[in-house]
Structure 1
Amino acid sequence: MAGERSAAATRGLPARAAGRLPSLDLGALRDGFTGAVAFEAGQRRLFPWLAVAFGAGILVELTATQGQPNLAAPLAGAGLALAATAALRARPVALALTLGIAAFLLGFAAAAYRVASLASPILARTTIAPLTGLVEALDEREQGARLIVQVLALGSLEEGARPTRVRVSYRKAQAIRPGDRISASARLLPPPEAARPGGYDFARDAYFRGIGAVGSLTGRIDVIPSTERLPWSLRLAAAVDDARNALTRRITDATGGQGGAVAAALVTGKRGLISPQTNDVLRAAGIYHVVSISGLHMVLAAGVVFWLVRALLALVPLLALTWPIKKIAAGAAMVGVTAYCVFSGWDVAAERSWIMTLVMLGAILVDRPALSMRNLALAAMIALAREPEALLGPSFQMSFGAVAGLIACSPLLSARLFAGEKRGWIGRGLSFVMTAAVGTLATTLVAQIATAPFSTYHFQTVQPFGLVGNALTLPLVSLVVMPSAVVGILAYPFALDQPIWWLMGQAVKGMLVISTWIAGFGQANLVVPAFGPAALSLLACALLVATLSVSRLRWLALLPALSGLALAAAPTRYDVFIDREGAGAAVRGADGRLAVLGKPPNFVLEQWLKADGDGRRPDQVAAGEGAHCDRLGCTIHTVDGRSLALTKDKRAFHEDCARADILISRRDAPPGCASALIVDRKFLAEHGAVTIRLDPAGPVLSTVRKPGPPPPWRMASQVKPPDKPAAAAVDPPSGFAAWAKKPFEEPEPSADDAPVEPLQ
């Protein structure tokens, strides 16, 4: 009876209350998914996913391949996939998947071709030798300048062994112009690799810029008269760069101070005259993107030209009624933005923004919506086909991410607010002002959310007041700065530009005043610990699903978004950072913060601190509590009690090998060294910079260089490590004694000894 009552009592309860899990209606889920995909196809939202597949192919080739792939393989696969689409027209799902595979393989092929086509010699070791070359570009600084030099001769190196192009700097002011043939003594180094695993890889960026060495010029620089006519491409590049420098000086003379330096950078792209303090203020206010010529500048420049041409044509009734003035204005804007891109230096970020702007304006010419996700996807594929490596950089990720977010939210952003029944010009004016203000805040917020994962991953910084900074400064940029820049360039050939540059400079100074005020807020520039590529991939996937989808499928973005945020909120924290040359290390102390040992370069130490979420400057970091240092080296105990030694002099090896659990040195450790973990010159030459996480089971190492064939940008400096003798085969005392009799060898100068700045 009890059993019967129990069964009867549970008949009317839900399955979960009765102890049974509810069954999933797979058929309903399948039908719902199919319907959502059909709706996406009807809204023409499947095409942008081809750009995603194209980028995925590039990502796999640049990050996962080992060695140089055969270009014929992805091209053949893409050809077969495209041929198969003819038989799949009646099967839309299979057709979409096949097109995606073709786009993936074409992206893979584009990256493989780009890597192979740029192969050029990379300097293998530090070299001090006479340099003769042609100045391709010159960027003036507050002291001296930085040059891109096409190498004609470098010491005794043959043509196949010397770099094709080098980047050098000098501090003394000399009359050098682009196109000059110069000769000087140069101290050159291989482009340095990342300062930590997952960090900024200068060597990779330098490879794709054709730069095989970096360094400085010392002593006198001679300008040699050339009897040979330069190639037309170099003459054109030199003439444009010389004109950019001349206009930069003219703008700074008209405005003066840092306002003039920033104003000149907005017009010519020359940022060398902007002081580090001004850069810090702009970053803290969240508006440093204004200085880098990219999407904002291209859109504003094209918009000003488009508006001016259309307004002038509309003044003539006959033209307004009989001519397609909108298309004419779009064509004029295309010409104007192209000229602006060339004059601004044709930088990588500017070129991508130029492509995007041309696609948007071209849509107007063919009577299509200018701001659409299809146009954005087309611009992305064109830009990536031209420069596949851009996919790995923050500029591409942030610019296209911001535009994708703005397009996805455009129905909300374009709604007119405060537009009720208002009579009179005062009511309409207030409505316009309020709508513009709210629209500016909304677009800034959307752009910041869309770009936050990429900026945080690459720069480890967050600007909490960036919304305020952009809201207060962008009206000045949009209404005064950029229109003045366009008008000033038009007036420049007539020598009537000085008043315009003065007006532009006043607006820029106002922008700097606002930025300085915001930078004075507490915690205006937060440094957060670096998270890994897995978190970034999940967050980027969430952004793609949320922006490219128009159906209920966009809710699927919540899963990767929450997973990515969870990974980003709990990043891996390393306890030891080791310089790629072994010159110094940073060790976590008892207070939980990093302490420095040795003398790592300031640039490298700054990267370590930011990766650890530490906002201190390199000069604020001292040796940790408990560290003992002398001219032979340093010793310290780690947070888990292990003994760590940084050995500078070979005379300290005997003692350090006997007592240190972890031994670090820029020299070769002696045979039979008893330390459990040895990171010496041989190890660093093979693995690059090292980080260590102190796990209870033992130290866990991460290195910049991975096992297997090196990528092309590291082949010149890849050193095959010698075979390590077995510890049991060597008696430590006699091994050390034999090693100590070897001649004294001074390590080569570190690549970090030369100041290195990220390629812009």
Structure 2
Amino acid sequence: MPLWLPVGLVAGVAAWFWLPSPRAWCGFLLAMAAVALSGFAFGRGGRAGRALAIFALAAAAGCGLVWSKAAWNGGGGGLARPEVVHFTGAIERVEPLPAREAVRLLLRPTKGAGLPARVRVTIAEDKAPAGLLPGAEVVLRARLVPPPSAAVPGAYDYAAVAWFQGIGATGRALEPVRLVAPAPSGGPSQWLADARILLTRHILTQLPGGRGGVAAALITGDMGAVTEADNQAFRNSGLAHLLSVSGLHLTAAVGATMLIVLRLLSLSPWLALRAPLLLISAGIGAATGIAYTLLTGAEVPTVRSLIAALVVLGGMALGREAMTLRLVAAGALLCVLVWPDAAAGPSFQLSFAAILSIVALHELPWMRRTFEAREEGFLRARTRELVALLLTGLVVEAGLAPIAIFHFHRAGLYGAVANIVAIPLTTFVIMPAEALALLFDLVGLGAPFWWITGKALGLLLGIAHHVGSLPGAVTFVPTMSRTAFALTMAGGLWLALWRTKARLLGLTAMAVGLAMTLCASPPDIFITGDGRHLAVRGEDGRIALLRERTGDYVRSTLSELSGRDGDEAITLDEWPGARCNPDACAATLIRDGRSWRLLATRSPYRIDRSAMEPACAAADIVASERRLPDWCRPRWLKADRSLLERTGGIAIHLRRAAIDSVVGLEGDHPWTIAARPDPQASASRREGD
């Protein structure tokens, strides 16, 4: 039963994100209280009643935790509209982006500037002065915008992430930045920030190009030097987890430290006979994990992995088995209590789904019997280990696939095979060689180890690019509803956590969630919240974009939500039967025998009423980034600025004549309310138009 306690907390967090309004959240809390009372009252002291009551209380606690954090620690007071501002700010965090020739700063503007408490600004390298370190003060002129919400339903919603980080605006510096006060000298945080920056620069000097970017990401957690091509290759091949400092890297650092310390201490017979060497090595390993976490910037995923590692080390120190489901549950429980909002994100879900899949698989009796160590020949033993590794990889890939589909609309097919080579290569060759290279650089003898590191990284990059480019390496899944995702994850947890044959019932829920996903039809038209971009999905799945010069992010987002690769997208000018000019496009879509006429504007210039009014009247749907006049009256939908300001991006299903909107999915969550336009300002703009 304790295994289900963190599950209950996560269910409460998910309910808060899923339900649309404070009234619904209060209803959920009351419902969980009623279930808990019923469990205690009618369970008659039985285990089932108590378990149901405790699970309901945990769900209520999860909902209350994330709600209180959103109210107390959110990004309230965010920027209302785009502005060009001149302000002074203290640097909280520096993130070099060598691959983009830029530096990203997290700033705390001075009081009285009329800006949010935190602002994230990107600065071009040629506009960034020396001495940009945490604690320094800078003066800059930047164009700031509110944190962007999801472009269309189902897309990444940075506004929610920024809200919990307290970031109220993002933007880009327009002029060279001026340093007005250097960072204060001394202090552990300052020393760590300096060390991280200097270490990244040193690694990039020793290994230029893509290999250096990956090497820096492994040691310092700085992914700014990883090129977009390499990043995409790692994602497509299922190796993206190698670039993010989390469980794998922390385990390698802690495990290597423990092994080395244990071996060295055991060389002394006196210590081996009298001292608790395992406890000592576990303590030094824990210290190493903490130091590595601080060096890499103490990002939430790394801290979360550290907490889980410390729980495991504590269990080992107490004489418990190193990895059990209870220790995994304890780590998850602590993480949700500290960062309840993280439970709704892919990082938390992917990391704990992976470790849960591994531990649950290896706790199965038949798995223990089949792959336990035994006296046998070298070839037979290595074959057994390889089969166990491959089976583990396949189970992990199956466990991660629903999460990847829900959040990223894609699933890899060859990740299990690629990881069989990539994980040992990273853990036992690249990271030790790079650590030795940095150590021997202190005496000027690191060159041989850098050569080994470079060759191994070249092999890792070759694997990523080769596997990622194979036919069918990535399968795009256009849509997975929240209901289907909830069923799939609930079924997976049921399958992993129960010990009896009743666990097989989880396969039913997973099958239903998978069937719902496979049977779901993606939207036919996407219109972004600013009205500038539109995508039309053909019956063959291919999409057409309104504008030829569509940015890579918008192109890939709209393509993936349609279930296609962004490179396959065409422009609406190439759509069969479409009529386009520089100002507008008209196209016809046929669904279930019905013709839908679409009209979309794509320039800021005025279109003569004599041409526009009959075109509007002949269209079923009109889309525009402008605010269209009242005389533009399509037969079904006018998605202009007036509508999109209220709804955010929209997705249109023609077969059932339905519309999904970003605001409709997000409801009255605080970041959605903050992004809504001020009614008085909207009225003023309408009068101006």
Q: TM-score, normalised by structure 1?
A: 0.81
Deviates further, 439-448 or 624-633: 624-633
Q: Distance in 2 between matches of 1:503 and 1:463?
A: 29
Partner in structure 2 of residue 64 of structure 1? 19
Q: Distance in 2 between matches of 1:442 and 1:142?
A: 37
Whether the aligned pair in 1 keeps the contact of 2:544 and 2:569 (CA below 8 Å) is no
Would you say 1:51 and 2:6 are equivalent positions?
A: yes
1:89 Cα deviation after fit = 9.2
Partner in structure 2 of residue 96 of structure 1? 51
Whether the aligned pair in 2 keeps the contact of 1:132 and 1:152 (CA below 8 Å) is yes
Partner in structure 2 of residue 522 of structure 1? 471
Q: Distance in 1 between matches of 2:667 and 2:358?
A: 42
How is 1:534-549 mapped onto 2 (pairs within 5 angstroms)?
Answer: 534-549=483-498
Q: Distance in 2 between matches of 1:631 and 1:650?
A: 12
SS at match of 2:116: coil
Partner in structure 2 of residue 23 of structure 1? none
Q: Distance in 2 between matches of 1:501 and 1:109?
A: 50
SS at match of 2:126: coil
Would you say 1:506 and 2:455 are equivalent positions?
A: yes
Question: Residue 486 and residue 303 in structure 1: after superposition, are their counterparts in 2 closer, same or farther (change >3 A)?
Answer: farther
Gaps of 5+ in 2: none
SS at match of 2:480: coil
Whether the aligned pair in 1 keeps the contact of 2:545 and 2:570 (CA below 8 Å) is no
Partner in structure 2 of residue 402 of structure 1? 354
Would you say 1:250 and 2:202 are equivalent positions?
A: yes
Q: Match for 2:585 among 634, 648, 658?
A: 634
Would you say 1:675 and 2:634 are equivalent positions?
A: yes
Q: CA RMSD in A?
A: 3.4
Q: Distance in 1 between matches of 2:513 and 2:236?
A: 25
Would you say 1:149 and 2:106 are equivalent positions?
A: yes
Question: Residue 316 and residue 236 in structure 1: after superposition, are their counterparts in 2 closer, same or farther (change >3 A)?
Answer: closer
Q: Distance in 2 between matches of 1:208 and 1:518?
A: 36
Question: Residue 512 and residue 326 in structure 1: after superposition, are their counterparts in 2 closer, same or farther (change >3 A)?
Answer: same
Task: Letter of the 1:460 partner, please give it.
Answer: H
Q: Distance in 1 between matches of 2:433 and 2:79?
A: 44
**Residue deviations 1:222-270, cap 9 Å, x none?**
11125x969x9xx654542332121111112222321121011001011
Question: Residue 292 and residue 399 in structure 1: after superposition, are their counterparts in 2 closer, same or farther (change >3 A)?
Answer: same
Question: Residue 486 and residue 89 in structure 1: after superposition, are their counterparts in 2 closer, same or farther (change >3 A)?
Answer: farther
Partner in structure 1 of residue 412 of structure 2? 463
1:52 Cα deviation after fit = 0.9
Partner in structure 1 of residue 272 of structure 2? 320
Would you say 1:379 and 2:334 are equivalent positions?
A: no
Q: Match for 1:712 among 667, 670, 689?
A: 670
Whether the aligned pair in 2 keeps the contact of 1:413 and 1:443 (CA below 8 Å) is no
Partner in structure 1 of residue 554 of structure 2? 604
Question: Residue 714 and residue 202 in structure 1: after superposition, are their counterparts in 2 closer, same or farther (change >3 A)?
Answer: same
**Residue deviations 1:43-68, cap 9 Å, x none?**
xxx11111111111111223215149
Q: Distance in 1 between matches of 2:502 and 2:203?
A: 51
Q: Distance in 1 between matches of 2:7 and 2:421?
A: 35
Q: Distance in 2 between matches of 1:485 and 1:258?
A: 15
- Number of aligned residue pairs: 671
Partner in structure 1 of residue 615 of structure 2? 656
Whether the aligned pair in 2 keeps the contact of 1:183 and 1:222 (CA below 8 Å) is yes
Task: Letter of the 2:599 partner, please give it.
Answer: A
Partner in structure 2 of residue 684 of structure 1? 644
Q: Distance in 2 between matches of 1:492 and 1:113?
A: 49
Bigger Rg, which one: 1
1:204 Cα deviation after fit = 0.5
Partner in structure 1 of residue 69 of structure 2? 114
1:77 Cα deviation after fit = 8.6
**Residue deviations 1:123-147, cap 9 Å, x none?**
1111111132122222222243232
1:104 Cα deviation after fit = 1.6
Q: Distance in 1 between matches of 2:434 and 2:285?
A: 15
Whether the aligned pair in 2 keeps the contact of 1:136 and 1:147 (CA below 8 Å) is no
SS at match of 1:138: strand
Question: Residue 514 and residue 133 in structure 1: after superposition, are their counterparts in 2 closer, same or farther (change >3 A)?
Answer: same
SS at match of 2:205: helix
Q: Distance in 2 between matches of 1:456 and 1:505?
A: 33
Q: Distance in 2 between matches of 1:611 and 1:576?
A: 11
**Residue deviations 1:168-200, cap 9 Å, x none?**
242426324223211121011111111221221
Partner in structure 1 of residue 385 of structure 2? 436
Task: Letter of the 2:493 partner, please give it.
Answer: L
Q: Distance in 2 between matches of 1:417 and 1:590?
A: 48
Q: Distance in 1 between matches of 2:322 and 2:307?
A: 13
Q: Distance in 2 between matches of 1:127 and 1:360?
A: 49
Whether the aligned pair in 2 keeps the contact of 1:170 and 1:218 (CA below 8 Å) is no
Whether the aligned pair in 2 keeps the contact of 1:682 and 1:721 (CA below 8 Å) is no
Task: Letter of the 2:124 partner, please give it.
Answer: Y
Question: Residue 621 and residue 265 in structure 1: after superposition, are their counterparts in 2 closer, same or farther (change >3 A)?
Answer: farther
Partner in structure 2 of residue 35 of structure 1? none
Q: Distance in 2 between matches of 1:172 and 1:363?
A: 51
SS at match of 2:149: coil
Deviates further, 356-365 or 702-711: 702-711
Would you say 1:195 and 2:154 are equivalent positions?
A: no
Task: Letter of the 2:670 partner, please give it.
Answer: P
Partner in structure 2 of residue 558 of structure 1? 507
1:686 Cα deviation after fit = 0.5
Q: Distance in 1 between matches of 2:459 and 2:467?
A: 13
Gaps of 5+ in 1: 1-45, 726-738, 746-760
Whether the aligned pair in 1 keeps the contact of 2:524 and 2:651 (CA below 8 Å) is yes
Question: Residue 171 and residue 357 in structure 1: after superposition, are their counterparts in 2 closer, same or farther (change >3 A)?
Answer: same
